[in-house]
Amino acid sequence: MSTDKHDRAFFRVQGGVPLGGVIRPQGNKNEALPVLAACCLTDQPMHLENVPNIEDVSAMADLLEELGASITRSKHGTGTTLSIKPKSIACGDIPPGMAQRLRGSVTLAGPLLARTGKVVLPRPGGDRIGRRRLDTHMLALRALGASVSDEGSHFTITADQLKGADILLDEASVTATENALCAAVCARGETTIRNAASEPHVQGLCRMLTAMGAKIEGIGSNILCIQGVDRLGGATHRIGPDYLEVGSFAALAALTGGDLLIEDADLPNMRMIRMVFERLGIHSEPEGTGLRVRAGQSLEIANDLGGAIPIIDDAPWPGFPADMTSVALVTATQGKGTIIIHEKMFESRLFFVDRLIGMGARIVLCDPHRAVVIGPEKLQGRTMSSPDIRAGMALLIASLCAEGESEIQNIHQIDRGFSKVDERLRALGAQIERLE
């Protein structure tokens, strides 16, 4: 499907219908991209299961094939099994046009550097949610012995032999941690990564690297210890459920008034999201390995002790995920009470609130990082455009709980992160059409 056709596609949504039934989350998008990149570390076959059928994954797979890998795809539902033969990868020159298709292209830097000794890394594309610095990536690679040259449109990164080091990351960046990991597993000697990110997708990458023969200690913590090995072998790895999609579906059920069971809900990694949702008046309960959101949620915002206005803010894992703030904000528009949403990481992520205000929400955008939400206020359908993946899902949730008809344009942004979302929501009773 061409980009032009993607740009023309839009969703027509009829709101006000309770959504319920059973749904299963796709594989974790934020895990899929770095594990695909990490396949470059070996010349042996790799098998990835439960890979989400989304545009960003397709773009990364295309990029690997351009670099010389052979990939066989077997699709089933929202997931795909990818059989990857990376033996022919010999060059670390990442095509600029392909890198611009997704932010995740940056995760190729560490694996390709370890594999080929030289990477030409174009500045990556992705969501327009504010500045996304690459300084931490380069700090880590330099610490391992790489030479980094900033050429403006791209970075040239070289290393004859990576050497283990004691690295303190200046921020707990997920993708910088992943790049440092992939470079360190084949470096000579021992590496310690301090202030490492520990999100579930970072843990998933660690487990795959371990299955390939890497020696990693401290998985799930903020200090990773890696003993470099001479070579890595092939492995089979299953990508975990997308806990961000689980949270999105839980909010969707609560705001539309439906009864929903989310199967395979990755309950251990849902604790903080469920805790924050409780403050927004959404109660959920485990049901086997699934999560049940029942109809008739209170949607009453819980004040802090002493009646103070509560704040929801994002933080590195195990804090509330930054990628859930857009959904939390939409949820707050339907809750009784006042709350502050504080998005600390990206200065443009909250700018989508003008669409919600146009739907009737009472929101004061204090600055690029903070919004005061006063609810509940019934939303009205309208025509709007999706600016990025997470805001796109938030606007879709808002449209499904609004009165009347909405049109969401630029749904290419939603397709980048959510597989067949319109088909899956129709199975829950949503009145949604994909049109051109």
Q: Which amino acid is at 93?
A: D
Annotated catalytic residue: which of 7, 62, 127, 150?
127
- Quick check: 256 and 245 in contact, CB under 8 A? no
Distance (Å, rounded) from C-alpha 276 to C-alpha 332? 11
- Quick check: 399 and 374 in contact, CB under 8 A? no
Strand order in the sheet with 235-238: 70-76, 79-85, 46-52, 235-238
Q: Are strands 405-409 and 383-385 parallel, antiparallel or unpaired?
A: parallel
- CB crowding 93-114: b at 16 or more within 10 Å, else e: bbebebbebbbbbbbbbbbbbb
Distance (Å, rounded) from C-alpha 264 to C-alpha 25? 7
Angle at 266 between CA 177 and CA 402, to 5 degrees: 100
Q: How many C-alpha atoms does 350 have within 13 Å on its Cβ side? A: 25
Q: What is the dihedral of CA 39, 139, 121, 202, to 10 degrees?
A: 30
- Does the annotation mark 304 as catalytic? no
Distance (Å, rounded) from C-alpha 29 to C-alpha 337? 33
Q: How many C-alpha atoms does 130 have within 13 Å on its Cβ side? A: 13
What are the C-alpha distances in Å from 102 to residues 63, 292, 317? 10, 33, 23
* Residue 435: strand pairing partners: 10
Count of CB atoms within 10 A of residue 33's CB? 27
Tokens 């146009």 found at: 358
The catalytic site residues sit at 127
